[in-house]
């Protein structure tokens, strides 16, 4: 490991931030906005009752829309049939997008500007809520299509027209699911079966709404704590596959409460037309809430919240091509990475079961000798690009660093072997202003500069180089300038610069950026 040869020179920050693939360098952003506009309440909260009335109003409208309208109730359910991931690492993120866009549609059609889906905390209430047997919240209601034959008659032509409008990319998604034609879709709907006639749209009834003992175990607080306990995204959110129609290992969240609730309710809820049952969105709001709980737990512990390293780009770039907006038109945000955080959906959750897994902020004394690995958003270093990572560091660290006896904070930067390091300096920035093209030496964001010294001998030419860059002063200055926001990651950036005239192209790759204390 080379010692930093710190020097302070005026330098330019390149606009090479663009090298970070737009939309997936978010890494560790907090799941919730600092002050959300919409609030997803617990269904059992009396304040949620007006939202259920708005939901019923919107459902009534959507049941009456012609099936040629993408906002028709059953057309919305078909989005799930055609595209939903189950048993893979896109499970939580796709359902966040699906539920989020549908929430906007309900908000629009109901005229309730504050509408947000109430969530069903089945850990606290292990039975189908009584409100979901009222009016159109119950798929057995006469407003719903009564038979498969009538369903096929109404939806067949519109679904064929939809299929014929698919782009090549959308048709590829269909092939990934084994659907080579719209007939394959209808065969699956008919044979599974996915449609249930009036009177059998659910198994649970108002007289018998409770989960059986096995399902109660699946939603119990012990199982939920197990589901929230994993420290990496894949173990939490189900396994890696090549595309979101593939099947890998289902994590505990999907395998236990998600699946068992779907199947115990029965009827539409037990297969891929499940959004036909209005309770689907209350169920999936709770799944999404638990993902948010897990994310905030990870953030508090300084652990990754998303797939890391080389796993992040393929996860974030997976196409989601079938979401529809409140205007009935395809949405522009069509990648998984667009839904990695709650972001523009701008909602938060009333606390519910599982919240206690988020540890309290640790004391300053606990901050010594820790390391937090950053999520690399861009790793290439050249004269046109900088490497950057977001590192989720507990809020207590900058607080502790302000104390005279607090921990020293450093960044560890590892660079892959370079052909020629002569004259190269590496400048390290922390939380540089977004879009800035120049950072002054006395900026709070400027942490320092390191460079290599001497020739690399003894067989070390092909080994990565790691540098420790002190960050304590930068962290202190940023905190004094109120530039460190709670629950937001440190943005560490490495900018390369070459002195003198050198005809060798400057190219380097950063393989790790982490932040530690000692």
Residues 176-195 interacting with other proteins (rule: CB under 8 A): 177-178, 184, 187-188, 191-192
Which ranges in 111-144 belong to alpha helices (H)?
none
Helix axes 73-83, 148-165, angle to 10 degrees: 70
Q: How far is the CB of 202 from other proteins (least distance, A)?
A: 13
Quick one: which segment of 164-172, 229-237, 340-348, 480-488 binds other proteins (CB under 8 A)?
A: 229-237
| Residue placing its CB nearer to other proteins in the complex, 207 or 214 | 214
3 state SS for 288-314:
HHHHHHHHHHHHHHCCCCCCCHHHHHH
- Does residue 239 belong to the site contacting other proteins (CB under 8 A)? yes
* CA distance linking residue 351 with residue 341, whole number of Å: 18
Q: Which one of residues 249, 334, 382, 395 is an interface residue with other proteins (CB under 8 A)?
A: 249
Asked if 477 touches other proteins (CB under 8 A), the answer is: no
Binding residues with other proteins: total (CB under 8 A): 51
Residue 271 is a binding residue for other proteins (CB under 8 A)? yes
Q: Which is nearer to other proteins, 53 or 355 (CB)?
A: 355
* Contact pick of 35, 213, 457, 501 for other proteins (by CB under 8 A): 213
Contact (CB, 8 A) for 464 and 511: yes
Residue from 33, 70, 72, 59 nearest 488 by CA: 33
Token pair of 133, please? 């047997």
Identify the residue among 32, 99, 270, 375 touching other proteins (CB under 8 A). 270
- Give the shortest CB-339-to-other proteins separation in angstroms: 19
DSSP state of 231: S
CA distances from 508 to 185, 377, 420, 424 (A): 49, 15, 9, 10
Q: Which of 25, 18, 62, 29 is nearest to 344 (CA)?
A: 29
Nearest Cα to 98, choosing from 309, 297, 338, 262? 338
Cα–Cα distance between 103 and 294 in angstroms, integer? 22
The contact mask relative to other proteins for 345-364 (x = CB under 8 A, - = no) is: ------------x-x-----
Which residues within the stretch 77-106 sit at the binding site for other proteins (CB under 8 A)? 84, 86-87
How many C-beta atoms surround the C-beta of residue 410 within 10 A?
A: 20
3-class DSSP state for residue 342?
coil
Residues 438 and 10: their CA atoms lie apart, in Å, by 9
Distance CA 319, CA 323 (A): 11
The region of 295-303, 367-375, 383-391, 409-417 touching other proteins under the rule CB under 8 A is 295-303
Q: Of 67-75, 230-238, 327-335, 345-353, which part binds other proteins (CB under 8 A)?
A: 230-238
Q: Does position 214 bind other proteins by CB under 8 A?
A: yes
Supply the minimum distance, in Å, between the C-beta of residue 225 and other proteins: 6
Q: Which of 225, 240, 456, 509 binds other proteins (CB under 8 A)?
A: 225
Task: Report in angstroms how near the CB of residue 235 gets to other proteins at its nearest.
Answer: 5
The residues binding other proteins (CB under 8 A) are 84, 86-87, 177-178, 184, 187-188, 191-192, 213-215, 217-218, 222-223, 225-227, 229-232, 235, 239, 245, 247-252, 255-256, 258-260, 262-264, 266, 270-272, 297-298, 301, 303, 357, 359
């Amino acid at each position: 490991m080379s010692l930093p040869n710190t020097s302070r020179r005026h330098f330019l920050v390149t606009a090479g931030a663009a090298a970070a693939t737009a939309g997936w360098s978010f890494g560790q952003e907090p799941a919730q906005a600092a002050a959300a506009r919409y609030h997803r309440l617990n269904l059992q909260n009396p304040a949620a009752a007006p939202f259920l009335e708005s939901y019923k109003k919107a459902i009534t409208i959507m049941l009456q829309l012609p099936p040629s309208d993408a906002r028709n109730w059953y057309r919305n359910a078909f989005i799930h049939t055609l595209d939903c991931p189950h048993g893979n690492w896109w499970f939580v993120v796709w359902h966040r997008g699906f539920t989020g866009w549908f929430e906007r549609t309900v908000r629009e059609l109901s005229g309730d500007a504050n509408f947000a889906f109430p969530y069903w905390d089945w850990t606290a209430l292990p039975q189908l809520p009584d409100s979901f047997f009222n009016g159109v919240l119950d798929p057995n209601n006469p407003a719903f299509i009564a038979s498969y034959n009538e369903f096929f008659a109404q939806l067949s032509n519109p679904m064929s027209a939809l299929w014929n409008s698919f782009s090549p990319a959308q048709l590829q998604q269909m092939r990934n699911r084994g659907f080579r034609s719209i007939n394959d879709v209808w065969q699956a709907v008919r044979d599974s079966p996915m449609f249930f006639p009036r009177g059998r749209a659910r198994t649970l009834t108002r007289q018998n709404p409770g989960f059986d003992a096995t399902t109660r175990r699946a939603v119990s607080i012990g199982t939920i704590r197990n589901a929230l306990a994993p420290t990496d995204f894949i173990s939490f959110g189900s396994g890696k596959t090549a595309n979101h129609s593939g099947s890998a290992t289902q994590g505990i969240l999907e395998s236990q409460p998600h699946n068992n609730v779907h199947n115990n309710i029965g009827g539409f809820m037990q297969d891929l037309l499940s959004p036909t049952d209005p309770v689907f969105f209350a169920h999936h709001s709770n799944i999404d809430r638990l993902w948010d709980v897990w994310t905030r737990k990870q953030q508090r512990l300084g652990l990754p919240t998303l797939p890391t390293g080389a796993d992040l780009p393929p996860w974030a770039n997976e196409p989601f091509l079938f979401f529809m907006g409140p205007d009935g038109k395809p949405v522009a945000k069509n990648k998984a990475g667009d839904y990695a955080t709650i972001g523009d959906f701008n909602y938060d959750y009333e606390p519910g079961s599982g919240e206690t897994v988020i540890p309290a902020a640790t004391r300053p004394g606990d901050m010594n000798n820790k390391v937090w690995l950053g999520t690399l958003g861009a790793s290439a270093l050249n004269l046109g690009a900088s490497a950057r990572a977001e590192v989720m560091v507990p809020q207590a660290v900058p607080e502790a660093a302000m104390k005279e006896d607090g921990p020293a904070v450093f960044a560890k930067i590892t660079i892959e072997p370079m052909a020629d390091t002569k004259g190269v300096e590496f400048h390290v920035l922390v939380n540089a202003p977004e879009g800035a093209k120049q950072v002054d030496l006395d900026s709070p964001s400027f942490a320092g500069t390191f460079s290599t010294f001497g020739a690399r001998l003894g067989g070390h030419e092909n080994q990565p180089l790691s540098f420790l860059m002190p960050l304590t002063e930068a962290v202190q200055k940023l905190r004094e300038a109120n530039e460190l926001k709670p629950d937001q990651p440190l943005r560490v950036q490495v900018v390369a610069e070459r002195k003198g005239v050198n005809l060798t192209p400057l190219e380097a790759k950063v393989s790790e950026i982490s932040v530690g204390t000692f």
